[in-house]
């Protein structure tokens, strides 16, 4: 597409015909009869200038049945030019300019243009302007070009008017950029039916340049250009329907307009049409074969994204047979244009030996090329080669450098094949919230064929930590934020060790002395995963992964490579090992009161007694699981019905579990015992203890790899349940009498430090052992964790595996997951990923949500022997989401949003984002805010959108912070609002948000200048 200047179309070589004969005009068309042609020939032969030019045009353009012949065209143009005809003179200039029938000669072309222009011919004047603007045989001179365009425009030439608009639009050297003037000139040309001008006006309204952004007006002008068959306008109309900008989103209409443009050879439309067929949605049936067909059409026009997309489909065997050779062919074509994902993909082919001989050396070479062009995936792969010593000497420091570089790149390389299954669609950035004329794009697209300003944001912007002293508890631990990144292989989020060390070295978190923390790096430890937190001397860090705090885990001595696909961690939304952080709850409560009161979650803190996990009927969990089959993908109504059924089943399940959780301590054989605590135990402490004891499932240490840490008691409101003293005395007596369940409950009490009991890992281990030997499945699982973590006993991975197996034999799903993670990580057994995956699958099939989510991630990325299958991935992710697993709910929302593995449906995407958002995930809160702002899947409500964006922003989500800044800056123009906006932008910029940095770079110098001027004014006054 040419959105700046019209160019004379290139024409094929000529066939020499020197004279006009009757034979040359016998094939006359319906529009011109043979007699008419004879008359034109007769007039031209008799010296009629107009007839001579007309006959030249017929030869040049092969019209009216004449064979194309540039030499004959030149002959007749010359006869007219010899008589001083400016039209003929200009036509000769065109032939020299394009080298049609004569050698290309820009100097002669300009000479002939001048002959015509000197006679006032407006189009010739326009042609001279183009020569100076483009530098055809002369030095570029935009001022001189503007002068000639102006002469032509004064005579009403629409092309000249359009070109003046382009000069102002682009701000060429010597011409100050002025969108308002550009729009004025475009409108003048458009009134004369110049389709290029009509198209550019559509662009201006779409981008909000020189006018307020108005998608409806953009559509109006695109339609004017499209009615003349303008392919670029047709493509843009398709994009407006595709994104739902200014009109209801309609993928079928989008496909129809893309098709019109694509059939005219528009490569962008061909590529976008391919993406629609590749992803599929409620309007367009997924068809990989058609997607490949359109990708190839675009790729054959040298579209680098399409070449990469075609290679990717051949690599994956989608829509065609898997063919690594053809994948390499198209990757190489794309790589020849410096396409970073293609360069990285070639490295992957050599890395795995797919279609080529495996070569670490060549893989490194291609990864290096990709890394030089900003490929995040390539940086990661280079780090992995250094870490494993493949093709080079092992160098952990060098590996760390590359991993860190990958992290610094953020999500800018989102089209990298190692990060997603398809490249982002081409086109203007999607806009999700409007404040007057201020637009905040959402990260969606990698390449913009229309040179639109694009913006890349970080999907997950931060990782929050809390420091806790191991020997003395802190009453109020400060939360800080560390940027998180994505593991290219596993798609899991990680935090870099250097980031954690840097932020904690500069912070004071230890009680009383407030000294800066020093960190010791564990052997072989490179990167912190969010679920394997560093345990360093005297300090334990709690991880806060887009939600409430989880148990702190020792990752410094872990032998499991943090770069292997990590097992997903449980993000507990309630107490974990006795700690109950409520920093996210403020946000959750606010959201529930304002927007979703009918979606309130059960508050497990109201429970008083304990439920034995071993007595649960595992099949009850399966009731709420609804498989997502391929057939469901195209059936939106079935999907909605499934989700509604899931909600109802969850409510019934929660009601049943609430009843089961209310265990009467009298059932534990009440007797008189020496009290463990006195009757002075506070009601609040008693209630807190009862809450933890009763909520066995939520407080179970769910992380398999790591050390359990000291917990601090949590207080909750008083309750009318049986007194804590009575409860404790009962379980102590029964535990000493050999009651397995009482032994388990007492062990857990010692482990968590509830009921005013001092934490004692050794006693917890003792009573877990007693209960486990009597066959108590949950105790067996907990005992395995104690051995695995070295908590209350010496660490013994082999014994941990033994007890996990004992619990698994009784159908304990989490124990099965523990066995799987041990095999995958080589903890207590040799690494055996096949057997590990088998156990994880068993755990998932038995209803363990974390295992289900892990299965989904593996299928999505095609990892660890799992074939890449987006439908199977969606099925497992849906199962985990149905059980309330927040990360899975967020993930499912994203799948619904893009239509990967499930039907594309913004309404369902919103539903799942909301569920995850109410559990405190800032990413989900951000998505909820953007959907409210754009009116996708929910009624548009900017006020509610801003509330959700604020929640995400207050948790450190940098893009949400950036949006908050935009909101305040576009509201009432008060100094207070501006300063608040700057504060938000600074917060986002501190986390690396490039857009906020850019805004600050523009705003702060202006403010400083204003302050300086004001100071000078007062000094002068004095």
Measured CA to CA, the distance from residue 199 to residue 293 in angstroms comes to: 28
What are the tens digits of pLDDT across the range 13-49?
332 233 344 444 444 444 456 777 888 888 888 889 8
Cβ(494)–Cβ(529) below 8 Å: yes
| pLDDT score at 913 | 95
Helix (H, G, I), strand (E, B) or coil at 67: coil
Measured CA to CA, the distance from residue 125 to residue 939 in angstroms comes to: 54
Residue of 711, 698, 752, 748 lying closest to 886 (CA atoms) = 698
Measured CA to CA, the distance from residue 940 to residue 137 in angstroms comes to: 55
Q: 56: which 2 tokens?
A: 């030249």
Non-local CB neighbours of 874 within 8 Å, separated by 6+ positions = 628, 856, 892, 895, 900, 901, 902
Q: 938: which 2 tokens?
A: 């929910």
DSSP structure string for 636-662: HHHHHHHHHHHHHHHHHHHHHHHHHH-
Measured CA to CA, the distance from residue 906 to residue 250 in angstroms comes to: 12
Measured CA to CA, the distance from residue 484 to residue 481 in angstroms comes to: 9
Measured CA to CA, the distance from residue 156 to residue 125 in angstroms comes to: 12
Q: What is the C-alpha R_g of the chain?
A: 35
DSSP state of 186: H
| pLDDT score at 828 | 82
Task: Write the burial class of residue 977 (CB in 10 Å: 0-12 exposed, 13-18 middle, 19+ buried).
Answer: middle
Pairing status of strand 535-536 against strand 539-544:
antiparallel
**What number of helices (H) and strands (E) belong to the chain?**
44, 9
Give the domains, in start order, of the chain with CATH numbers: 1-116 (1.25.40.10), 120-217 (1.25.40.10), 463-544 (no CATH), 582-611+665-795 (1.25.40)
Rounded alpha-carbon distances, angstroms, from residue 564 to 45, 397, 411, 447, 561: 83, 18, 20, 31, 6
Chain-centre distance for alpha carbon 897 = 11
Q: 995: which 2 tokens?
A: 């857009």
| pLDDT score at 414 | 38
CA angle, 879 as apex, 907 and 566 as ends, to 5°? 110
Residue of 295, 381, 317, 313 lying closest to 343 (CA atoms) = 381
Positions of the chain with pLDDT under 70: 1-33, 410-723, 971, 973, 1009-1022
DSSP state of 614: G
The H-or-E segment that residue 226 falls in is helix 215-226
In the block, which residue shows the tokens 């007694």?
A: 609
pTM score > 0.85 for this model?
Answer: no
Helix (H, G, I), strand (E, B) or coil at 435: strand
Measured CA to CA, the distance from residue 595 to residue 949 in angstroms comes to: 13
> Left if phi > 0, otherwise alpha if psi is -120 to 50, otherwise beta: which for 956?
left
Q: What distance, in Å, lies between the first and last C-alpha atoms of the chain?
A: 61
Residue 31: CB atoms within 10 A of its CB come to: 8
Q: 354: which 2 tokens?
A: 């797919």
Measured CA to CA, the distance from residue 134 to residue 150 in angstroms comes to: 16
Cβ(924)–Cβ(893) below 8 Å: yes
Cβ(306)–Cβ(280) below 8 Å: no
Residue of 972, 971, 1010, 967 lying closest to 985 (CA atoms) = 967
Task: Write the burial class of residue 23 (CB in 10 Å: 0-12 exposed, 13-18 middle, 19+ buried).
Answer: exposed
Which residues on neighbouring strands pair with residue 431, listed in sequence order? 441
In sign, the C-alpha dihedral spanning 507, 511, 514, 519 is negative
Helices marked H in 62-105: 70-82, 86-98
Measured CA to CA, the distance from residue 924 to residue 935 in angstroms comes to: 16
Non-local CB neighbours of 376 within 8 Å, separated by 6+ positions = 406, 409, 410, 411, 412, 413, 416, 419, 488
Measured CA to CA, the distance from residue 434 to residue 441 in angstroms comes to: 10
Cβ(450)–Cβ(203) below 8 Å: yes
Measured CA to CA, the distance from residue 480 to residue 503 in angstroms comes to: 8
Measured CA to CA, the distance from residue 914 to residue 591 in angstroms comes to: 9
Cβ(309)–Cβ(271) below 8 Å: yes
Measured CA to CA, the distance from residue 788 to residue 821 in angstroms comes to: 12
Measured CA to CA, the distance from residue 127 to residue 122 in angstroms comes to: 9
Measured CA to CA, the distance from residue 489 to residue 858 in angstroms comes to: 10
| pLDDT score at 376 | 86
Measured CA to CA, the distance from residue 766 to residue 770 in angstroms comes to: 6
């Amino acid at each position: 597409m040419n959105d700046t200047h019209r160019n004379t179309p290139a024409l094929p070589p000529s066939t020499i015909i020197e004279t006009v004969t009757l034979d040359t005009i016998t094939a006359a068309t319906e529009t011109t009869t043979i007699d008419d042609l004879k008359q034109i020939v007769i007039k031209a032969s008799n010296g009629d200038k107009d007839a001579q030019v007309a006959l030249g045009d017929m030869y040049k353009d092969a019209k009216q049945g004449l064979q194309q012949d540039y030499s004959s065209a030149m002959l007749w143009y010359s006869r007219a030019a010899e008589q001083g005809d400016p039209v003929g003179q200009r036509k000769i200039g065109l032939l020299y300019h394009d080298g049609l029938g004569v050698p290309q000669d820009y100097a002669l072309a300009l000479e002939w243009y001048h002959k015509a222009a000197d006679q006032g011919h407006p189009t010739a004047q326009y042609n001279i302007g183009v020569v100076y603007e483009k530098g055809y045989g002369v030095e570029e001179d935009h001022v001189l070009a503007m002068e000639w365009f102006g002469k032509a425009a004064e005579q009403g030439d629409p092309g000249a008017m359009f070109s003046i608009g382009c000069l102002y639009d682009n701000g060429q050297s010597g011409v100050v950029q002025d969108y308002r003037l550009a729009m004025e000139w475009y409108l003048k040309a458009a009134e004369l039916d110049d389709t290029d001008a009509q198209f550019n006006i559509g662009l201006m309204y779409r981008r909000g340049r020189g006018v307020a952004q108005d998608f409806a007006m953009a559509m109006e002008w695109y339609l004017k250009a499209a009615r003349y068959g303008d392919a670029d306008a047709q493509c843009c109309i398709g994009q407006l329907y595709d994104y739902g900008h200014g009109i209801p989103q309609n993928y079928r209409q989008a496909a129809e307009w893309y098709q019109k443009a694509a059939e005219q050879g528009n490569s962008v439309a061909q590529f976008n049409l391919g993406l629609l067929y590749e992803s599929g949605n409620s309007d367009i049936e997924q068809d990989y074969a058609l997607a490949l067909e359109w990708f190839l059409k675009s790729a054959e026009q040298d579209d680098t994204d399409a070449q990469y997309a075609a290679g990717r489909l051949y690599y994956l065997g989608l829509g065609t047979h898997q063919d690594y050779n053809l994948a390499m062919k198209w990757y190489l074509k794309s790589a020849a244009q410096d396409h970073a994902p293609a360069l990285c993909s070639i490295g992957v082919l050599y890395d795995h030996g797919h279609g080529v001989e495996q070569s670490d050396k060549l893989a490194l070479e291609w990864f290096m090329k990709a890394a030089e062009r900003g490929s995040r995936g390539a940086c990661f792969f280079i780090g992995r080669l250094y870490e494993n010593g493949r093709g080079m000497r092992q160098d952990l420091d060098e590996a760390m450098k590359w991993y860190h570089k990958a992290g610094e790149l953020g999500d800018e390389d989102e089209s990298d094949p190692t990060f997603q299954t398809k490249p982002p669609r081409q086109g203007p950035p999607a806009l999700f919230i409007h404040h007057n004329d201020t637009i905040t794009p959402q990260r969606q697209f990698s390449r913009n064929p229309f040179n639109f300003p694009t913006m890349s944001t970080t999907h997950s912007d931060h990782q929050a930590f809390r420091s806790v002293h191991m020997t003395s508890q802190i009453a109020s631990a400060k939360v800080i934020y560390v940027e998180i990144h994505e593991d290219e292989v596993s798609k899991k989020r990680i935090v870099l060790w250097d980031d954690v060390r840097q932020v904690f070295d500069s912070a004071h978190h230890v009680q009383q002395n407030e000294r800066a923390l020093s960190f010791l790096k564990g052997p072989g430890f490179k990167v912190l995963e969010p679920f394997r937190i560093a345990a360093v001397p005297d300090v334990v860090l709690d991880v806060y992964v887009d939600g409430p705090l989880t148990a702190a885990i020792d990752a410094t001595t872990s032998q499991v490579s943090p770069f292997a696909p990590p097992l997903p961690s449980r993000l507990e939304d309630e107490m974990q090992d006795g700690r109950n952080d409520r920093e996210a709850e403020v946000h959750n409560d606010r959201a529930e009161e304002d927007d979703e009161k009918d979606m309130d979650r059960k508050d497990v803190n109201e429970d008083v007694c304990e439920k034995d996990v071993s007595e649960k009927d595992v099949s009850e969990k399966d009731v709420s699981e609804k498989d997502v089959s391929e057939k469901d993908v195209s059936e939106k109504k079935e999907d909605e019905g499934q989700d509604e059924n899931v909600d109802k089943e969850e409510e019934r399940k929660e009601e049943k579990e609430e009843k089961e959780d209310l265990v009467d301590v009298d059932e534990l054989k009440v007797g008189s015992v020496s009290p463990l605590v006195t009757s002075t135990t506070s009601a609040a402490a008693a209630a807190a203890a009862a809450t933890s004891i009763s909520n066995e499932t939520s407080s179970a240490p769910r992380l398999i790899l790591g050390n359990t840490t000291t917990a601090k008691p949590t207080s909750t409101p008083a309750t009318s349940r049986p007194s804590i003293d009575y409860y404790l005395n009962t379980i102590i007596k029964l535990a000493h009498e050999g009651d397995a369940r009482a032994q388990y409950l007492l062990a857990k009490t010692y482990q968590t430090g509830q009921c005013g009991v001092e934490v004692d890992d050794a006693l917890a281990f003792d009573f877990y052992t007693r209960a486990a030997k009597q066959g108590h499945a949950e105790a067996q699982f907990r005992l395995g964790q104690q051995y695995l973590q070295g908590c209350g006993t010496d660490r013994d991975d082999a014994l941990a595996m033994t007890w996990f197996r004992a619990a698994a034999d009784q159908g304990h799903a989490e124990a099965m997951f523990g066995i799987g993670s041990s095999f995958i990580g080589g903890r207590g057994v040799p690494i055996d990923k096949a057997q590990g995956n088998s156990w994880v699958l068993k755990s998932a099939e038995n209803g363990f949500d974390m295992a289900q989510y892990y299965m989904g991630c593996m299928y999505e990325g095609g990892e660890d022997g799992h074939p890449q299958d987006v439908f199977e991935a969606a099925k497992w992710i849906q199962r985990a989401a149905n059980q309330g697993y927040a990360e899975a709910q967020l993930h499912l929302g994203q799948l619904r949003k893009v239509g990967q593995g499930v039907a594309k449906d913004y309404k369902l995407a919103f539903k799942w984002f909301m569920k995850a958002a109410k559990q405190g995930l800032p990413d989900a809160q951000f998505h909820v805010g953007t959907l409210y702002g754009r009116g996708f899947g929910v009624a548009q409500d900017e006020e509610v959108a801003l509330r959700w964006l604020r929640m995400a922003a207050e948790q450190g989500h940098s893009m949400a912070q950036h949006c908050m800044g935009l909101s305040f800056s576009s509201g009432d123009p008060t100094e207070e609002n501006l300063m608040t906006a700057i504060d938000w932008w600074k917060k986002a910029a501190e986390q690396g948000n490039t857009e906020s940095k850019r805004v600050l770079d523009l705003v702060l110098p202006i403010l400083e200048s204003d302050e300086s001027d004001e100071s000078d004014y007062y000094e002068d006054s004095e």
